[in-house]
Amino acid sequence: MAKIDHYSGYDKTNPISIEIYSQKMIGKTFREIWEEDDISHSMILREESVSYGKTDVAVVKRNKGNLGQIIEEKFFHYKCNNDSRADFNEAGVELKVTPYRINKNGTLSAKERLILTMIDYYEVVNEPFEESHFWNKSKLILLVYYLYLKDVKDNLDYKIGYSRLFTPPEQDLKIIKHDYYVIVSKIKAGKAHELSEGDTLYLGAAPKAATSKNRRKQPFSEVPAKPRAFAFKNSYMTYVLNNYIVPGKATYESIVHDDNVDSLEDHVIEKIDRYRGFSVDKLCSEFEVEIQKRPKNLGALLAYRILGVKGDHAEEFEKANIVVKTIRIEKNDKIKESMSFPTFRFKELIKEEWEDSTFGNYLRETRFLFVVYKFDENGILRLRGCQFWNIPYDDLEVQVKSVWEKTKQVIKDGLKITMVNGIRKNNLPKASDNPVCHVRPHAKNAMDTYELPDGRQYLKQCFWLNNTYIYGQIEEKIKS
């Protein structure tokens, strides 16, 4: 029988009791939780070390993290701690408060990654997964999702939408454990400074510092590294929300159906390699795809069919933020097309800093599945294989960064547009200027534009990875 504490209203040793009690928050704002609490005690700000009572609401607004503290101290009535134990230590439950959005099409998505615990570079290299500080804080989480709305000016007015206990299911746990050891192995190799969220699938090593210049020592290299934290990726948190937290939501199709599969990536590569050498026509016949219609994403569609997915979304890819990119190699061993990315708005890009830029973060956080096709000597397009890829650290932080910074400067200075032989030219970075990437149009037609800072309209642009660079990233065994 649950031992309900009449002071707190729940049994602090029982996870289910904690979850049931937490349901009373749903539909309430943080302000309402604050004001409804009639227990007079001061809250101690974890990060600011300031005591305040009900009249000091303004202090809370400075720090989004204090929303979690309101839940801890004004709803659950315990003083928050900053030690290695779980928040509800006697029940082994960690409390995490995190935002979600309602998208224009009505779907739900996590607004951000879920920070779990800081990575101690010196300690983590000696911690097996099951005994790690990370897993101790993450094996059972009370997830409190609040609805983020752009027009809400005061953090206290966000409304809580869901509160549920969550522990990663077995099929996810295998991948999370693998991700953990990928991160640890990179630290052991003296490459903590090269960690990227694109290295892993569900669990990431997210940058976590007060400023972009903060650095920490690492045990196997003299190169200082950014402070980082273990975090469930934004894509994984979106999947958790839609499939584990919100009742009645339909799941995407899964690639893995065998409990004995230890590596998602090895499993995907093995399945696609079975069809290595098959022509596109034969693959269409094999998987009953109408050849006449030839959808634009045919190459990716065939890859999904090979993986046993009928649509163009796979559960594991959604969780891991894996983007499928089709690459076609010509008979002359060259790639005709560079690889495009989402367009950017000129006026928004110039307000960004590289460390937290939209394009930089996209490449840092995304893992790609390259599905490679090649024309044979008879001009027949055949599947050559696939590989998982994320951009190497130096390529991103040196080459791509320089193109991004030049792009920002050109736009700030006033984009120069000239007509050469009837063709409109600009002074944005070109493919010949950088070995990795460039900027060029990605518009439907001449009317598909964004506004420049000076008020002129100009064709939508995006960053592209150079075709020659992409070719160089493809494994030799696939190209040969």
* pLDDT for res 55: 35
Contacts made by residues 31-34, CB under 8 angstroms, sequence distance 24+:
31/57, 31/154, 31/156, 31/157, 33/70, 33/71, 33/74, 33/75, 34/70, 34/74, 34/156
Identify the CATH number of the domain defined by range 15-245. Answer: 3.40.600.10
The pairing of strands 94-102 and 141-147 is parallel
Question: Exposed (0-12), middle (13-18) or buried (19+): which is 351, by Cβ within 10 Å?
Answer: exposed
Name the band, by pLDDT with cuts 50, 70 and 90, for residue 47. very low
DSSP-assigned letters across all residues of 43-77:
EE-TTT--EE-GGGHHHHTT-TTHHHHHIIIIIS-
Question: Inter-axis angle of helices 401-413 and 358-365, to 10 degrees?
Answer: 160
What pLDDT is recorded for position 9?
A: 80
CA 323, CA 366: separation in Å to the nearest integer?
A: 7
Task: Please say whether the structural domain 264-479 has been given the CATH code 3.40.600.10.
Answer: yes
Q: What tens digit of pLDDT does each residue of 57-71 get?
A: 444 444 445 898 899
* pLDDT tens per residue across span 207-246: 998 787 899 999 999 999 999 999 999 999 999 998 889 8
- Range(s) within the chain of domains with CATH label 3.40.600.10: 15-245, 264-479
- Which phi and psi angles does 223 have, rounded to 5°? -75, 120
pLDDT band at 457 (very low <50, low <70, confident <90, very high): very high
CA distance linking residue 304 with residue 252, whole number of Å: 12
Neighbours of 444 (CB within 10 A): 8
* 54/37 Cα distance (integer angstroms): 9
Mean pLDDT to the nearest integer, 163-186: 95
Tokens 């933020």 sit on residue: 321
Whole-number average pLDDT of the chain: 89
Query: Do residues 219 and 121 touch, judged by C-beta distance below 8 A?
Result: yes
What tokens appear for 441 in the block? 């149009």
pLDDT, tens digit (0-9, with 9 covering 90-100), for 79-115: 766 666 788 989 999 999 999 999 988 889 999 999 9
Q: Can you tell me the distance from the alpha carbon of 31 to that of 70, in angstroms, rounded to the nearest whole number?
A: 9
Residue with tokens 């045990």: 219
Rounded Cα distance, 391 and 473, in Å: 9
Residue 416 has pLDDT above 60, yes or no: yes
Full DSSP string of 163-176:
EEEE---HHHHHHH
Nearest alpha-carbon partner for 341 in 254, 455, 428, 460 = 460
Query: Residue 417's CB: how many other CB atoms inside 10 A?
Result: 13
Evaluate if pTM is beyond 0.85.
Answer: no
Phi, psi of 68 (to 5 degrees): -65, -35
Q: Please report which confidence band the pLDDT of residue 365 belongs to, taking 50, 70 and 90 as the band edges.
A: very high
For the cut 50, the answer to whether the pLDDT of residue 51 exceeds it is no
E-only strand ranges, 310-460: 322-329, 339-340, 367-375, 381-389, 417-420, 423-426, 437-441, 449-451, 457-459
- The average pLDDT across 35-56 equals 46
